[in-house]
Amino acid sequence: MNVSISFHPSDKVLCYIRYSGGMEQGLKDRSTKEQALDIQKFCDTNNLILYHIYEDAGISGTSTKGRDAFFKMINFLK
């Protein structure tokens, strides 16, 4: 992954992952476990501290209804 980031080494970061499954996701279908592993690798490579992972599994991305972890993340950031 070749991404330009505006973080500094040892910055604490958090992430939000979501997986609803289903055919509509096609080849982009990635479990939350795979997403978390990739994010941890990214953090390790860039010397970032993964502070917390917020996860909503089995929740559609078409609305924010039922996305409890998403709202917990937003409240934490406030």
Task: Tell me the pTM.
Answer: 0.76
Cα–Cα distance, 30 to 61 (Å, whole number): 14
> Could you give the number of structural domains in the chain?
1
**Domain for residue 5, yes or no?**
no
Which tokens belong to 53?
A: 């992972």
Tens-digit pLDDT profile for residues 4-43: 778 999 999 999 998 766 655 554 557 888 889 999 999 9
**Domain for residue 43, yes or no?**
yes
Give one DSSP letter per residue of 48-65, joined into a string: -EEEEEEEEES--SSSST
pLDDT at 58 (0 to 100) = 77
**Domain for residue 23, yes or no?**
yes
**Domain for residue 7, yes or no?**
no
**56-74 core/surface letters (b: 16 or more CB in 10 A; e: else):** beebeeeeeeebebbeebe
- Determine the structural domain holding residue 63 and report its residue range: 12-77
